[in-house]
């Protein structure tokens, strides 16, 4: 018989939010990893927050909510808070029950700025790496490095001459800058002064951007180092040397990279750190490649060339899903914190998938 389309409000519900989430849902395994990483940050949270005053949003819930924004490609804090209000899966992941009130989006943004100010996202990234090391998922000998450009949250019209005052008519929005010669030395963005004008390659347009540099280990492709730099002031090779210098241990390592790293200074810098550079040869460079048969004749060199492709997946996922293509924050410190957090989310996803595959 035909059922009746009649809705009757239920005053009492005897189910918890946890019971609405399927036991085999993949986000359950991710929640366990997140909670394990947050335990190491408890002492840090105690130092950030005062013992007196009104209770704020728990930092653990702020981080879980921020992870949802990255994992589900949610554009803004306003939309994130709206979805937490009615999405039971999101409520469960954050740690809210049905009767709990969801905070205002402006309150969420203000409280998350406190986490960025105290570099909580960097500590969270380190905590996730520590978990991966305990699970023997990291290689301490073989690495790959690469960099990319991400658009700053600033328009081309905001890139104006440094000698123009803010109240000057020539500095007003809507001016015609076409045909004007502009450079980072003479111009600065009024919206995001830390962003610099840069282009990825010849034939492409120059954009206000930041440089993002990743260092991964070659066993499972986990990100072990991340740096955000001014796109024009710091080259990919300089950032790579800084990331390599932070890696522990004095034993010999190998580093895979594309032909853009095939320069004399970079090769010498790697060898000075006791690192064998497995860099793709750039035969078109004046004077030829800096890598010769003493390196290329070994089978490990070709294995490094294969494994270094894993690093492209970190940038691809972060830009396609994690919001890295254009971050909705301004200033190098905030951009760096958000980039580090996105890479921590990537590592968590990667660890969940690795543990699932090992369990099969």
Please give the average pLDDT of every successive group of 10 residues along the chain, which has 360 residues. Answer: 78 84 94 96 90 84 96 93 95 93 90 90 97 95 96 91 67 61 89 91 86 96 96 92 91 93 94 94 82 89 94 96 92 95 97 88
Q: Is 226 exposed, middle or buried (0-12, 13-18, 19+ CB in 10 A)?
A: buried
Architecture of domain 136-153+209-359: 2-Layer Sandwich (3.30)
Cα→Cα distances 148→63, 73, 210, 255, 301, Å: 25, 20, 8, 18, 23
Among the residues of the chain, which ranges form H helices? 17-20, 26-39, 42-48, 59-71, 77-86, 88-94, 105-117, 120-134, 236-245, 264-272, 293-296, 299-307, 310-320, 332-359
Helix orientation angle between 105-117 and 59-71, rounded to the nearest 10 degrees: 100
Summarised one tens digit per residue, pLDDT across range 92-147 is 999 999 889 999 999 888 888 889 888 999 999 999 999 999 999 999 999 999 99
pTM of the model: 0.92
Q: What is the CB neighbour count within 10 angstroms for residue 155? A: 13
In the chain, residues under CATH classification 3.30.420.10 are 136-153+209-359
């Amino acid at each position: 018989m035909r059922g009746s389309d009649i809705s009757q409000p239920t005053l009492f519900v005897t189910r918890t939010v946890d019971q609405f989430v399927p036991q085999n849902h993949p986000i359950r395994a991710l929640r366990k990893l997140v909670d394990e990483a947050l335990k190491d940050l408890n002492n840090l949270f105690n130092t950030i927050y005062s013992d007196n005053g009104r209770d704020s949003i728990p930092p653990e819930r702020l981080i879980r909510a921020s992870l949802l924004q990255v994992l589900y490609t949610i554009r803004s804090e306003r939309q994130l808070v709206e979805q937490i209000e009615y999405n039971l899966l999101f409520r469960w992941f954050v740690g809210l029950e049905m009767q709990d009130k969801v905070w205002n989006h402006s309150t969420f943004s203000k409280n998350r700025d406190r986490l960025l100010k105290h570099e909580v996202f960097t500590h969270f990234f380190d905590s996730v790496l520590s978990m991966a090391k305990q699970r023997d998922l990291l290689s301490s000998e073989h690495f790959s490095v690469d960099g990319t450009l991400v658009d700053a949250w600033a328009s081309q019209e905001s890139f104006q001459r440094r000698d123009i005052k803010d109240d000057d008519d020539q500095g007003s929005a809507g001016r015609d800058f076409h045909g004007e010669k502009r450079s980072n030395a003479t111009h600065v963005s009024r919206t995001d002064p830390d962003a610099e004008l840069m282009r990825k390659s010849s034939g492409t347009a120059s954009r206000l951007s930041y440089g993002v540099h990743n260092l991964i280990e070659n066993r499972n492709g986990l990100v072990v180092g991340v740096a955000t730099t001014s796109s024009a002031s710091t080259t990919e090779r300089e950032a790579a040397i800084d990331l390599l210098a932070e890696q522990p241990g004095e034993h010999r390592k190998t580093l895979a990279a594309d032909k853009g790293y095939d320069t004399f200074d970079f090769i010498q810098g790697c060898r000075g750190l006791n690192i064998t550079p497995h860099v793709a040869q750039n035969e078109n460079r004046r004077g030829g490649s800096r890598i010769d048969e003493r390196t290329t004749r070994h089978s490990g060199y070709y294995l490094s060339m294969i494994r270094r492709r894993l690093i492209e997946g970190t940038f691809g996922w972060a830009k396609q899903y994690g919001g890295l293509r254009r971050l909705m924050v301004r200033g190098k410190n905030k951009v760096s914190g958000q980039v580090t957090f996105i890479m921590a989310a990537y590592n968590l996803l990667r660890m969940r998938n690795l543990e699932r595959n090992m369990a099969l």
